[in-house]
A and B are shown apart, each in its own frame.
Chain A
Amino acid sequence: MSDTLGFYGIQFLNGMAYSLLLFLLAMGLSLIFGMMDVMNLAHGSLYMIGAYVGLFFLGWTGQFWIAVVLVPIAVGIIGIIMEASLLRPLYRRGHLDQVLLTFGLSFVFMDMVKWIWGADIRSLPAPPGLAKSAIIFGRSFPEYRLFVIVIGLILALALWAFLERTRLGAVIRAGVADKEMVSGLGINITLVFTLVFGLGAALAGLSGIIAGPVLGLYPGMDFETLIITLIVVVVGGLGTLKGSFWGAILIGQAQTFGKVLVPDFALLIVFVIMAIVLLARPSGLFGKEAA
């Protein structure tokens, strides 16, 4: 009995760690979409770049924590360059062209990473202080995953505070709700777009390096992650923190439990959840009505 409890408890924690990584990704994707109507199909690529650039920084500095700080900055800058140089010229042309552009970029990024780091599976070691296992529910559980859960919750709280309590956060929320209003307020909307895109990219990069020691680094991780993030966003609803959070928990837990209980159908479970949610609420659990 207690062993069963232990098993489910551990899986729940695994699910939480995974869910919170998904939340960081979904939040970036969702904010960018809510703000600019751009579905960034290179979002998974930014996650992958975060992991590989993390590997590079780790090799260079030997310090995981320095890498954790540098990666979001680096990937955030990549995002800002992407937005300012390629996406901005397309704002007048409608959203489809921007989506297509990010799609083209995802091919380039995928190949670049393969070119630089090769096609082999790589691993990112957990930082020395967190490499051991703790005993929880009578079973051993990697400390690093506990760290992922804690950092994920802290970041979720920080993002919430940023969106709800700061001026820029208020502008972003207003922009998601009603773009015309924001440009009417005399705010430099172009700058806000760039910042939001950079923030989304930084979040994706950060989740990439944090996920590295748990999920590993391999070609194809970009699109695998993009798909599951898209599902989270579709299920949770676009443009809200609440939607990304609960969508991530639902999908993350479903996939984790699916993998251990019915390994053959894990992915299918996720798709079934998506189909059910969409039938019941076409704009997602917390989405605005009628897109």
Chain B
Amino acid sequence: MSLETTYPAGGVFVRSGKLVFWLVMLAALAAFPILTTSAYSLSTLTEILIFGIFAMSLDLLLGYTGLISFGHAAFFGVGAYTAGLVAIKIAPNMLLTMAAGIVVCAIAAFVIGFFSIRAAGVFFLMLTLAFSQMVYAIAHQWTWLTGGSNGLAGIPRPNLSVPSLPIEFYDPTKFYYITLGIFVISLLLLKRIVSSPFGHVLLGIRENEGRMKAVGYNTRNFKLAAFVIAGAFGGLSGVLYSYFNGFISPSELYWTMSGQVMVMVIIGGAGTLVGPVLGAGTILLLQNIVSSNTERWPTIMGMVFIFFVLLARNGITGLLDKVWHGARSQVWKH
């Protein structure tokens, strides 16, 4: 499948056919609503795209910067609540709710990041976890604003009031295309970011932060910037989720959500952009299949995750790469 690599400057891998592959993928995604009549599969694919954005945003920290954030659900939730509240209290305008969600998340990420990034390694992990639980507690306790444990219901469907461009969200197919468009834009933006000089600084921090300081980088600022960008994209996925679901509850920012997106990134393949999307797809499809047969989904997800941690640390993309390019490429030797 993808020729993505953890180590972008490798140059060992084969490039031919890459563009063709992506165009075929995009065409397949675009043709999906025409090929299927199942509302259920369309809705599942929409959800996968939303969680794909969410997982990619976490991977910017986890796979590219080497920052193990265990509280990424905070941004998903804050994005969703912000969009929902703006839609209810101000106006259900798509551009307005989306901008509000992204900006509020970027600010939240700045504050949380400012404190968390002072700490290294496991301390960072604990702080992000603790902060996200604080956000959860706020959503849970401030019933007057968030609806508390009942959640925020009755979020009106947003609209895009541009004359002569009627976009509405009631039709699942149209909403799917909007989501697909935002997904592609997010993927391209993140792709640009990780291959930019800034993105390469993040890789340097992942590999050896001490040496980055020794060559003159104020690494703390770069980590904070990465945290804010990841928070903003995480928020964007939350905004889309609020449109998709029409209802938000505090569980959207509980630790299980942070855990689930972490699982998506790791089993998909950290340090690539396709990996997290594949991970999101795998987890959501698996969840759908498992949940219709048994209630033991958390056990199964936990075990699948443990399997990947123990035996396939480079995730699905790592496995695919081994199978497809094993003989030719040295890049994945870890």
Interface positions of A (Cβ within 8 A of B): 33, 37, 39, 86, 89-90, 93, 95-97, 99-101, 103-108, 110-112, 115, 223, 227, 230-231, 233-234, 264, 267-268, 271, 274-275, 278-279, 282-283, 291
Offer 18 A-B interface pairs, CB within 8 angstroms, sorted by A. Answer: A90-B310, A95-B122, A97-B309, A101-B310, A103-B70, A103-B259, A103-B305, A104-B306, A104-B309, A105-B306, A106-B259, A106-B302, A108-B302, A108-B306, A111-B297, A115-B296, A227-B133, A234-B123
Residues of A within 8 A of B119 (CB): 278, 282, 291
Find out whether the CB atom of A278 lies under 8 angstroms from the CB atom of B118: yes
Please give me the 7 A-B residue pairs with the lowest Cβ-Cβ distance, nearest first: A107-B302, A111-B298, A108-B302, A104-B306, A104-B305, A111-B299, A267-B137
Interface residue B184 (Cβ < 8 Å from any Cβ of A): no
For B298-322 the 0/1 string (1 means CB < 8 A from A) is 1101110110011001000000000
Interface residue B181 (Cβ < 8 Å from any Cβ of A): no
Find out whether the CB atom of A33 lies under 8 angstroms from the CB atom of B302: no
CA distance A178 to B118 in the complex (A): 24
Find out whether the CB atom of A101 lies under 8 angstroms from the CB atom of B309: yes
Find out whether the CB atom of A268 lies under 8 angstroms from the CB atom of B134: yes
Segment touching A, from B26-34, B78-86, B124-132: B124-132
- Nearest to B305 among chain A residues (CB) is A104
Q: Contacting B313 at CB < 8 Å: which of A37, A97, A267, A271?
A: A97
Residues of B within 8 A of A93 (CB): 313
Instruction: Report B271 CB to chain A, min CB distance, Å.
Output: 13
For B156-190 the 0/1 string (1 means CB < 8 A from A) is 00000000000000000000000000000000000
Q: Known: A99-B122, A111-B296. Contact between A278 and B302, CB under 8 A?
A: no
Interface residue B141 (Cβ < 8 Å from any Cβ of A): yes
Find out whether the CB atom of A99 lies under 8 angstroms from the CB atom of B68: yes
Find out whether the CB atom of B122 lies under 8 angstroms from the CB atom of A89: no
Find out whether the CB atom of B305 lies under 8 angstroms from the CB atom of A107: yes
Residues of B within 8 A of A275 (CB): 115
* Extra contacts besides A100-B262, A101-B306, A230-B130 (15): CB < 8 Å: A37-B122, A86-B306, A96-B68, A99-B68, A100-B266, A101-B309, A101-B310, A105-B302, A107-B256, A108-B306, A111-B296, A115-B295, A234-B130, A279-B118, A291-B121
Find out whether the CB atom of B115 lies under 8 angstroms from the CB atom of A278: yes
Instruction: Report B286 CB to chain A, min CB distance, Å.
Output: 13
Residues of B within 8 A of A89 (CB): 310
Find out whether the CB atom of A291 lies under 8 angstroms from the CB atom of B120: yes
CA distance A275 to B115 in the complex (A): 7
Instruction: Report B144 CB to chain A, min CB distance, Å.
Output: 10
Residues of A within 8 A of B137 (CB): 267-268
Find out whether the CB atom of B298 lies under 8 angstroms from the CB atom of A282: no
Instruction: Report A21 CB to chain B, min CB distance, Å.
Output: 19
Instruction: Report B57 CB to chain A, min CB distance, Å.
Output: 19
CA distance A275 to B298 in the complex (A): 32
For B100-120 the 0/1 string (1 means CB < 8 A from A) is 000000000000000100111
Interface residue B255 (Cβ < 8 Å from any Cβ of A): yes
CA distance A90 to B141 in the complex (A): 40
Instruction: Report A153 CB to chain B, min CB distance, Å.
Output: 27
Residues of A within 8 A of B129 (CB): 227, 230
Q: Contacting B310 at CB < 8 Å: which of A86, A110, A291?
A: A86
Residues of B within 8 A of A283 (CB): 123
Residues of A within 8 A of B125 (CB): 39, 99
Residues of A within 8 A of B259 (CB): 103, 106-107
Instruction: Report A143 CB to chain B, min CB distance, Å.
Output: 32
Q: Contacting A234 at CB < 8 Å: which of B120, B127, B295?
A: B127
CA distance A99 to B256 in the complex (A): 15
Instruction: Report A261 CB to chain B, min CB distance, Å.
Output: 15
Residues of B within 8 A of A99 (CB): 68, 122, 125
Q: Known: A103-B262, A107-B301, A110-B298. Contact between A278 and B127, CB under 8 A?
A: yes
CA distance A86 to B256 in the complex (A): 22
Residues of A within 8 A of B306 (CB): 86, 101, 104-105, 108
Residues of B within 8 A of A234 (CB): 123, 126-127, 130
Find out whether the CB atom of A104 lies under 8 angstroms from the CB atom of B303: yes
CA distance A37 to B133 in the complex (A): 23
CA distance A271 to B122 in the complex (A): 18
Residues of B within 8 A of A37 (CB): 122
Q: Contacting A33 at CB < 8 Å: which of B122, B138, B141, B310?
A: B122
Residues of A within 8 A of B303 (CB): 104, 108
Instruction: Report B97 CB to chain A, min CB distance, Å.
Output: 27
Find out whether the CB atom of B130 lies under 8 angstroms from the CB atom of A227: yes
Residues of B within 8 A of A264 (CB): 141-142
Find out whether the CB atom of B126 lies under 8 angstroms from the CB atom of A39: yes
Find out whether the CB atom of B118 lies under 8 angstroms from the CB atom of A271: no
Instruction: Report A102 CB to chain B, min CB distance, Å.
Output: 10
Residues of A within 8 A of B262 (CB): 100, 103
Q: Known: A86-B310, A100-B309, A101-B306. Contact between A291 and B123, CB under 8 A?
A: yes
Instruction: Report A104 CB to chain B, min CB distance, Å.
Output: 4
CA distance A128 to B192 in the complex (A): 67
Instruction: Report A269 CB to chain B, min CB distance, Å.
Output: 11
CA distance A196 to B126 in the complex (A): 21
Q: Known: A100-B309, A279-B115. Contact between A39 and B302, CB under 8 A?
A: no
